[in-house]
A and B are shown apart, each in its own frame.
Chain A
């Protein structure tokens, strides 16, 4: 590149080669000498705590903020966080590192993935007494979430938050459409027709659409609506799914696109962009998109996912902290990890800034949280968060979601019908069921 900076690359003399080899040999000696101790064990009194997470973007920034505070309060801990790419790259590293049993001390995990990630094999149980010592007990966490952390009577995860799909609304547009109540909140609707009328009113104002949702992540919409209808999904030998309810849920996705009330295609980064630039007045999206809307400086509000077929249920998950399996027992590291997890829960008011609902009740019940706007407006939705059905292939970024999302995207964009999409989904699911379970 910058050739003027380097010495003349003229024919190197034979000495150069020998010098190179001699240098290499010397370096090897040093390297071998250094190998014995290994770099991981630092011979100081500070306890090393290695945390792995999958957060970039807004969540990443907030986690760094919390970690900075944690490190300041814990000078005796040598805290080393590492971020891997969200989804499979993270979970692959997690599985391999835990199988090796010496790479990390604590990690984030989607609670929906707990059962598929080998609790008891790749994930060690949480010492509950130790956790209680640091102030986290079953009565400090929502029961529906705590249940998900337990496998065969053992606690395997410490929940940091609940996150779920909610409704965002652009106040300025909604005010002009006349769909705000006197307090400036989106009016509550009852049933599909009322909600579609609301969307139509919003569409008249925007001239574009009423609502936007991530059509490449259609599982979230589908599972929210299917659960509102009371649908269940089981995988015992065959797919247990209520066809009528599933079709009803899918038909809503078809209808909003067909009637021009929602874009028929909008991907994950495009969805908040469409909301921010005002081509629609509402957005169905995960509560973590709050940062995008805030960064845009728009006047917006949030409320639970609308109850189109019943209660206002929304699909969601929980970020939890888990202890990876370790090859050799290390009580000091486990204590540090549990203490860290409890600290994160207690300070999750910072985490709430990113839209996630803290799982630790003392935080969500605090006055400080109540003042968080618009987070406090959908706090109750967390109570009714709809976790994905339980199977080793189910959960965030797992195969069932991926299959469903790619198939149901076709319902959004009209390339397939709800009936055909459901058939294809059942076929794909059967294949997953037939695959021998790895856990």
Chain B
């Protein structure tokens, strides 16, 4: 592959170096301290969930509340994993989010390319239709879409869960705007070399679009991973549920077990949090750039 030179070139880069250096002042220290306090407060629910998950079930409802487990144990995790549901949901979430992300990238890139770099009959009308589609939130379609799915026989199938999530006209729009800004000279040169549209897309446009593709991919993946409403409707079979749907609907036969609930919550939260810690900057950009719809 022609090495894409497109690194994340932050437009703020110019200002970064010359921002006023924080001097150690009383005011600065106060800002730091309040920031840290707020951050810690914001983490309390997560920390409390982790601590609860490490307690034996009997300790979870102790009054008054005690933070640290008296006898820390991984029993809750063992019980949750022994049920096997959560592993299956994690697999389902991974498969479905990946399929949604890849398909979204493929169909939206193709469509955006067509709108940006080609002229075909009906182009304007179609683009206007897709723009109008941005106005239709998926939430208002749940009932007719479910009805349609029963007709097509897609309820309780992977495709039934995944395909409606691929229809994201806003992504076509974002990608088109980006492609529009790629100078014509590049495609002209390629065309002179005898390249057709597929070649131009593959060898000219895509290599220059790394950042936007990453942004769309990350945003789509995160959104699909955490999507609740549609998977909740399209998958009633526990074997097909994703993490949020499974955790939100399947009950333990033994009633509410707080340590196990929290263990399941921690395990369900882990994948994206790990991805976030590893790729913090990319996730932040992906979410802010593509998320502004």
Contact = CB atoms under 8 A, between A and B. Distances in A.
A34 B95 contact: yes
A212 B255 CA distance: 24
Given A27-B98, A28-B101, A39-B240, A11 B281 contact: yes
Contact of B47 (A1, A20, A40): A1
16 contacts: A2-B50, A6-B277, A11-B281, A12-B280, A16-B279, A18-B210, A20-B275, A20-B282, A24-B101, A31-B99, A39-B88, A56-B251, A60-B253, A102-B237, A103-B237, A327-B153
Nearest to B251: A83
A195 interface: no
A134 interface: no
Contact of A96 (B8, B88, B146): B146
A9 B275 CA distance: 10
Contacts of B282: 12, 16-17, 20
Contact of B236 (A28, A61, A83, A96): A96
B8 A14 contact: yes
Interface in B271-293: 273-275, 277-282
Contacts of B157: 38, 102
B214 interface: yes
Q: Which 8 A-B pairs have the closest CB atoms?
A: A100-B155, A97-B236, A60-B253, A31-B95, A103-B237, A28-B102, A28-B98, A83-B251
A85 B251 CA distance: 6
Contacts of A372: none
A144 interface: no
Contact of A104 (B213, B237, B278): B237
Contacts of B279: 12, 16-17, 20
B250 A17 contact: no
B46 interface: yes
A64 interface: yes
Contacts of B213: 21
Given A6-B277, A82-B250, A50 B237 contact: yes
A96 B95 CA distance: 23
Interface in B206-231: 210, 213-214, 217, 221
Contacts of B158: 35, 38
Contacts of B250: 82-84
A335 interface: no
A2 B254 CA distance: 30
Interface in B95-132: 95-96, 98-99, 101-102
A82 to B, nearest CB: 5
B95 to A, nearest CB: 4
Contacts of B281: 11-12
Contacts of B96: 31
Given A21-B214, A24-B221, A61 B278 contact: no
Nearest to A16: B279
Interface string A341-381: 00000000000000000000000000000000000000000
Most buried by B among A60, A97, A100: A100
B252 A83 contact: yes
B28 interface: no
Given A1-B47, A12-B278, A40-B237, A96 B155 contact: yes
A35 B159 contact: yes
A1 B50 contact: yes
B196 interface: no
B94 interface: yes
B149 interface: yes
Contacts of B34: none
Contacts of A17: 8, 210, 214, 279, 282
A207 interface: no
A97 B237 contact: yes
B249 interface: yes
Contacts of B240: 39-40
Given A21-B214, A63-B253, A96-B233, 13 more contacts: A6-B277, A12-B282, A14-B8, A17-B214, A28-B99, A38-B158, A84-B250, A99-B155, A100-B156, A101-B150, A101-B155, A103-B236, A103-B237
